[in-house]
Amino acid sequence: MNLKRSIKYYWLKIVRLKGSPHDLALGIAIGIFVGMLPIMPFQIALAVTLALFFKGSKITAALGTWVSNPLNWYFLYYFSYKIGAVILGLSEKNRGFSSVMGSIQSLNHGEGFSVVMGEIAGVGSAIIVAFLLGGLILGLIVAPPAYFIFLKVFHFISAWREKRKSHKHWKKLIQ
């Protein structure tokens, strides 16, 4: 499938999402918030659970978690730890942190994510808390603007859809 066709396909999938612009944007914001947390295999489950609790779109919540993807895992984990380490007063040059980052880099060389999870489980609670705290702060920084940006996007799509539906209706009446 060529790029232009793929873009059109995904645009149509987004346009056809059901729900109010608020619900859809809230779902995306929840997904992006959870996507910032370094809990890779559990992100979608947590995002959908939070979307159920806050009455956002479950589908867009799951989609929002893809802000965290193989292309940027290294950077998300790196900044999550750095922010959490500063707040907790941990050393920035920590052997456990280096081993986790090394295992994340090895993902690009075919290693499984279970290696990363094993490294994280073995580094100690202070480092795990630093990762989680930093991810929480990143999520709190990124999710609110994402909500307002996507609220505008979904309002635009909703208005476009209504205009198109109205135009088709009048076209049928004229014929």
Q: Judge whether 3 lies within some domain.
A: no
Does 175 fall in a domain? no
- Model confidence, pTM: 0.80
| 124, part of any domain | yes
pLDDT digits (tens, 9 = 90+) for 86-108: 898 877 666 667 677 777 766 65
Q: How many CB atoms lie within 10 A of CB 42?
A: 12
Kindly indicate the confidence band of residue 39, based on its pLDDT and cuts at 50, 70 and 90: confident
Supply the range of the domain harboring residue 142: 19-163
pLDDT score, position 145: 97
Return the residue matching tokens 């929840």.
Answer: 30
Under DSSP, the state recorded for 88 is H
**Model confidence over 134-148: pLDDT tens digits?**
999 999 999 999 999
Q: Which pLDDT score is estimated for 115?
A: 67
Q: Is residue 157 part of a domain?
A: yes
Predicted confidence at residue 126, as pLDDT, reads 79
Q: DSSP characters for 107-163?
A: GGGT--HHHHHHHHHHS-HHHHHHHHHHHHHHHHHHHHHHHHHHHHHHHHHHHHHHH
- Residue 167 is predicted with a pLDDT of 66
1-15 confidence digits (pLDDT tens):
587 887 777 777 776
Residue 172 included in any domain: no
Residue 4 lies in a domain: no
Across the chain, mean pLDDT equals: 82
Whether residue 173 is predicted with pLDDT greater than 60 in this model: the reply is no
What value does the mean pLDDT take over residues 76-83?
87
In a domain, 11, yes or no: no
Residue 72 inside a domain? The answer is yes
Give the Å distances, CA to CA, from 165 to 22, 105, 172: 21, 49, 11
Q: How many domains does the chain have?
A: 1
